[in-house]
Each structure stands twice: as C-alpha cells, then as structure tokens.
C-alpha cells in the first residue's frame, strides 16, 4: 500500500511539473520553435546520412559479394618438409615456397554434409556448394583464350551466384555438353549461343561443348575467364574424378565471415579463407564509412545538446522569479529539476519527430529523383534510434540548467530583477 501511495503522489507531481514545463515552453513560442527546428535539422541529417551510408554499403556489398562466396574452403596447403635439426643445434634454411598443385578436398562429401547440419542447427550458413575449378584453354577456330573451368552443382550454386539473374542470352544449363560463358569471352572468341567451343585442359584432355548461355557478372576478369559446366565434365577435364577443389559458403552475417572462417579451419583442418581476408581494401572502405556515420551522429548529437542547453540556460535566468515563487509555494528542488528536464526532453522529442519526417521526405526525394545508383531504405529501428538520440540528448542538455534552477534560494530568487 505504501508503494502504491508513493506511486500516486509521483504521478500527481509529474502532472503538475508537466503542465509547468509546457507553460514555460509556450510562453516564448518563437524561441521554442527555433530550437525545435534546429533539433529537427540535426535529426534529419542523422536519418538521411545514415540511410545514405547504409544504402551505399549494401550496394557495394551486393555488387562485390554478390558474385563471390563469403567463405572458401580448399585443400590443405602444401609445405616443404624439413628434417628436424640435431639436438642442441639450430637450423637456418632458405627455402622456396612449394608450388600448389590442383588437388581435391579429401572426403569433401562428409565435410559438406557436416557443414549443412552445422548451419541448419545454428542458423549461420545459407549455402554450402561444391566447386571444381582449374585452368584450361578455350578455342574456336584459330582463336584461343585462357579460361577458368568452373564445375558446379546447379542447385547448390544458385545459393552462391544465381546465374539466371546475370544471363544476357540463351538459357541456364550445364548438362552434359552444355556450358555458360562470360560476355567478354564471347566477344573475344566471337561466340554466340548455339556455337561449338573446344575446351582443352592439357595432356590430351579436351572436348567440344555447346555454348547455351552467355552471362555478365559485371566484373571484367570473371566475364572474360569463367566457363561454367557440370561437376562431372570439369572432373573429367581436370583429371580429378569424383573430387572438388573448393567448398563455397554463404553466411547470414557477412561481417562475421572471418570469425566463422577461423572456426571452420579449426574444425576441419583445411585451408579456409573469408572474403574479409581476400578483400582487405573493401573491408577497410566499409569500416571507414561506418566510422564516418558514427562521427556524424556524435557531432550532430553534440550540436543538439549545446543548442538545448543554451536555450534552457537563458530560460532559467528569465524565469528566476517564477522559480523562486514556486519554491516559496512548497515546490521541492526535485520538482524544479524535473520541470527543466521535461522541457529538454520535450524539445528533443518534438524536434526529432519533425526531423524524422523531413529525413523521410529527403529519402523519398532521393529515390524518385532521376535514376539513382541505389535505393535508400529506412528501417524502423533507424527512425526510432534518431528519436531516442535526440530525446536523450535533450534530457542530458537540460541537466546543468535544471540543477542550477533547483539550487536557487527562494528568498533571493523572488527579489531577482
């Protein structure tokens, strides 16, 4: 019962303080409007810049990682085997790195199944796709080009790259005798869908295939070298019957790729590489963009805090006599403190709501103004975070003026002119 009574008293007290705070804000509408507009500009900047940076990052990730796996698992790297040094002796050796021959992953079916089960249980992996990749020559008439044979399982590989989305001509098929080639390779060799192409992997392993589709991934190196065929066709040409050279993975959280690559390496003992390791410059650019966004948020929040603090500091001076009267009528220091904290919170909330609306309109304008390179999307969490940041900034900014107002001596404050 005591707790309920205290709660009721606090509710009645807050209702009084709420009305006093609104009265103080309404007494100077121009000042309240100007600071609310200033806060709304800050909130709009947070919303628009965050949406712009996130949209830019998603576009870069889609363009770059949309045509490659997040994690690649290969056979263990080959190293030179050195004799152990004699006891109490040191061995200084100058060795050349050992050439890495094309080799298959031992028991790759078991590794694939284990990763399938691991991903299904933990909800981490989207796709595990076997791939056999090796060098070959493509020949049409007297024209030749060095290519990369890509033997795939069509069903699983669609989870890594959905080649149907990148087809420019023909159809998707890697059945026996059918291949897909890149647009640049088709231009270099003068090929069209329906033409014949000779593939030569060396040591008299060659075959003639049908070009049934031409794709364009948007990366010149890939479009000029990749030739997609079936697993069996590639295994026969590369002389790796039943084997695969790579297991490709896609995971739900692309920025956790390095962590999971290290875990999978420890679990399997194989050579595992994440996109974060192979695309260091891209990762650095994405991290720099994220840091820029955070810095903009911090500086905008600081400008909002100083703006609200300056307005409330002036308000405390202007209302010194009113504060003295309230204190003389029995208002406690805590009530005066809460009046000015409420003012700060209300200014932050009102300004942020207006700012979120302006930010939303800016995003709509960006998406509908001509042909943009990417589309901005506003997540509800982004809008809520902008409102929360501005409201908390308002309360924090009001802390110092509110403490000053609460410490006024009623007798001195009433005589203030």
Beta-bridge partner residues of 129: 248
CA distances 25 to 111, 132, 279, Å, are 67, 71, 54
pLDDT at residue 18 greater than cutoff 70: yes
Higher pLDDT, 310 or 40: 40
- Give the pLDDT band of residue 7 (cuts 50, 70, 90): low
In which residue ranges of the chain is CATH 2.40.40 found? 126-244
* pLDDT range class, residue 211, cuts 50, 70, 90: very high
- Average pLDDT for 178-195: 91
pLDDT greater than 60 at residue 417: no
pTM of the predicted protein model: 0.68
For 307, the 3-state DSSP assignment is: helix
DSSP run (H or E) holding 323: helix 320-328
Residue 313 has pLDDT above 60, yes or no: yes
Task: Please indicate whether residue 65 or residue 161 has the higher confidence score (pLDDT).
Answer: 161
Query: What pLDDT sits at residue 415?
Result: 67
Arithmetic mean of pLDDT over the chain: 83
Alpha carbon separation from 223 to 148, 186, 248, 343 (Å, rounded)? 10, 9, 19, 61
Fold type of domain 126-244: Barwin-like endoglucanases (2.40.40)
Q: pLDDT of 116-158, one tens digit each?
A: 887 666 667 778 899 999 999 998 888 889 999 999 999 999 8
Name the β-bridge partners of 14: none
| Residue 200 pLDDT greater than 80, yes or no | yes
Q: What is the 3-state secondary structure (H, E, C) of 47-116?
A: HHHHHHHHHHHHHHHHHHHCCCCCEEEECCCCCCCCCCCCCCCCCCCCCCCCCCCCCCCCCHHHHHHHHH
Calpha distance 384→397 (Å, rounded): 20
pLDDT band per the 50, 70, 90 thresholds, residue 73: very high
Greater confidence, 73 or 297?
A: 73
What are the φ/ψ torsions at residue 176 (nearest 5 degrees)? Answer: -55, 125
Contact 152, 202 (CB under 8 A): no
Q: Residue 121 has what pLDDT?
A: 62
pLDDT score for 3: 63
Could you tell me the pLDDT band of residue 215, with boundaries at 50, 70 and 90? very high
């Amino acid at each position: 019962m005591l707790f309920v009574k205290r709660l009721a008293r606090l509710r009645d007290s807050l209702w009084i303080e709420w009305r006093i705070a609104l009265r103080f804000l309404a007494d100077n509408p121009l000042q309240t409007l100007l600071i609310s507009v200033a806060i709304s500009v800050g909130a709009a900047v947070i919303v628009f810049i965050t949406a712009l940076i996130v949209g830019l990052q998603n576009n870069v990730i889609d363009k770059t990682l949309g045509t490659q796996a997040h994690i690649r698992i290969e056979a263990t790297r080959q190293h030179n085997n050195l004799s152990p040094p004699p006891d109490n002796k040191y061995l200084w050796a100058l060795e050349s790195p050992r050439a890495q021959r094309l080799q298959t992953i031992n028991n790759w079916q078991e590794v694939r199944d284990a990763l399938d089960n691991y991903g299904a249980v933990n909800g981490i992996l989207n796709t595990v796709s076997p791939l056999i990749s090796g060098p070959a020559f493509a020949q049409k008439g007297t024209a030749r080009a060095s290519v990369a044979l890509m033997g795939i399982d069509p069903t699983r590989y669609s989870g890594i790259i959905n080649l149907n989305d990148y087809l420019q001509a023909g159809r998707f098929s890697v059945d026996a005798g059918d291949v897909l080639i890149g647009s640049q390779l088709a231009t270099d060799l003068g090929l069209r869908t329906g033409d014949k192409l000779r593939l030569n992997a060396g040591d008299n392993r060659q075959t003639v295939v049908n070009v049934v589709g031409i794709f364009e991934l948007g990366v010149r190196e890939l479009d000029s070298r990749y030739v997609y065929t079936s697993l069996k066709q590639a295994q026969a040409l590369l002389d790796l019957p039943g084997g695969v050279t790579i297991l490709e993975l896609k995971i739900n959280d692309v920025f956790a790729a390095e962590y999971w690559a290290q875990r999978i390496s420890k679990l399997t003992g194989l050579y595992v590489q994440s996109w974060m390791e192979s695309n260091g410059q891209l990762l650095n650019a994405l991290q720099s963009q994220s840091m820029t966004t955070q810095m903009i948020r911090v500086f905008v929040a600081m400008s909002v805090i100083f703006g609200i603090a300056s307005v409330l500091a002036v308000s405390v001076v202007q209302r010194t006599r009113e504060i003295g009267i309230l204190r003389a009528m029995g208002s406690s220091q805590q009530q005066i403190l809460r009046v000015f904290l409420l003012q700060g919170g209300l200014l932050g909330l009102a300004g942020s709501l207006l700012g979120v609306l302006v930010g939303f309109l800016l995003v709509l304008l960006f998406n509908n103004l001509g042909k943009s390179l990417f589309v901005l999307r506003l997540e509800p969490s982004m809008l809520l975070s902008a409102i929360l940041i501005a409201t908390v900034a308002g309360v924090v900014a009001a802390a110092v003026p509110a403490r000053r107002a609460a410490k006024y001596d009623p007798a001195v404050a009433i005589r203030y002119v």
